[in-house]
Amino acid sequence: APHPTTLLPYAERIKLHSNPTARRILEIMDRKKTNLAVSVDVTSAAEALEVVKRVGASVCMVKTHCDIFEDFSPAFTEELVRLSKELDFVIFEDRKFADIGNTVSLQYSSGVHKIASWSDLTNAHPVPGPGIIKGLATVGQPLGRGLLLLAEMSSAGSLAVGGYTEQTFDMARKAGRDFVIGFIAQNRVDKDASPEKGEDWLIMSPGVGLAAKGDSLGQQYRTPREVVIEAGADVIIVGRGIYGVQGGEQAVKDEAERYRVEGWKAYEERLAR
C-alpha cells in the first residue's frame, strides 16, 4: 500500500507543519505547481545567478554548494535572496554538516559563508549523533530555518542504508519537527509516520535525470516518475540534467520547465491512485 503521506496534496500538508520553512516550501509547491529543485553546481557565482534567473519560475527550491564558487561574496547571497523573493523559491545550501554540535553551530553561523544568514534550508549527516541537530538548531531555529537529515544517498555503495537509515528517522522523531523538517533520501524513510496523527515529513531526492543513467563517479539517476510515484519522494532535485543541457540560455529554461511538468504529472498521478 502507498505511504499515506503520498496520497495527500501538498496544500493539505501545510497545516501539519510548525516550521516556517517547511510551510513555505509546501505553499510554493502548491502555488507554482512544482516539486522541482534545481541544484546549481557551477563554479562561478555570476553564472549561478544566470541559471537561477532562467529556472526560477519553474522551481520550488534552488540548491547550492557555496564552497564551489570561485567568486563567492556577500553580494552574491544578497542577490540570491532577492531572487528567491522575486521568483518565489526557497534557498537550500547543501552543506552536509557532519561534526559535533559546537563545531557545526560555528560552521553554520560564521566563517566566509555565514550560511544561516541567507539559506532557508540546510542538511546534516546524523553520524555524530543528536548533538549535531541541537548545535544547528541553536543558530537556525530562531531564524525560522529548516534542517534535513541525510538518511540515504544516491551514490553507489553508500553506507547510509538499512539500520542507519532507520536510526536516522528515529533521531529526527526524537528531535521533533520544530527544526528538522524531513530527509534527503531515495525512499519514503518515514515508514510509520501518520498524517492522521499530524506527523508529516518532507522527502527530497537527488539523483534524478531523464537522459543519463549515472556518471563515472558513482552517481545513479532515476526518472521523476520513479522518484515521485514509486519511491514516494516529495521533491526531485536535478543538477546537470538542467544546468548542463546543451543549447544556451533558452535550453536551460526549457529543460527546467520540462522537469517541472514531469514531476508535477507524476505527483498528480500518485494522488489519483
Residues labelled catalytic: 94, 96, 99
- Which helix (H) or strand (E) segment is 48 a member of? helix 45-55
Reading the block at residue 187, the C-alpha cell is: 525512499
Closer CB to ligand 5IU, residue 229 or residue 237? 237
Contact between 144 and 117 under an 8 Å Cβ cutoff? The reply is: no
Position 94 contacts ligand 5IU (CB under 6 A): yes
Q: What does the DSSP assignment read for 76-128?
A: HHHHHHHHHHHTT-EEEEEEEE-S-HHHHHHHHHSTTT-GGGT-SEEEE-STT
Number of residues in contact with ligand 5IU under rule CB under 6 A: 17
Which residue's C-beta sits nearest to ligand 5IU?
Answer: 239
Binding residues for substrate: 41, 63, 154, 219, 239-240
Position 64 contacts ligand 5IU (CB under 6 A): no
Closer CB to ligand 5IU, residue 126 or residue 207? 207
Chain positions 105 to 164 lying near ligand 5IU, rule: CB under 6 A, are 150, 153-155
Closer CB to ligand 5IU, residue 101 or residue 239? 239
Long-range contacts of 76-82 (CB under 8 A, 24+ apart): 76/45, 76/48, 76/49, 77/114, 77/117, 77/118, 78/118, 79/49, 80/48, 80/49, 80/52, 80/118, 81/118
Candidate list 7, 27, 30, 41; residue touching ligand 5IU; CB under 6 A: 41
* Shortest Å distance, C-beta 259 to ligand 5IU: 10
Write the binding mask 203 to 242 for ligand 5IU: x where contact by CB under 6 A, - elsewhere.
---xx-----------x-----------------xxxxx-
d(CA 267, CA 9): 9
Closer CB to ligand 5IU, residue 103 or residue 155? 155
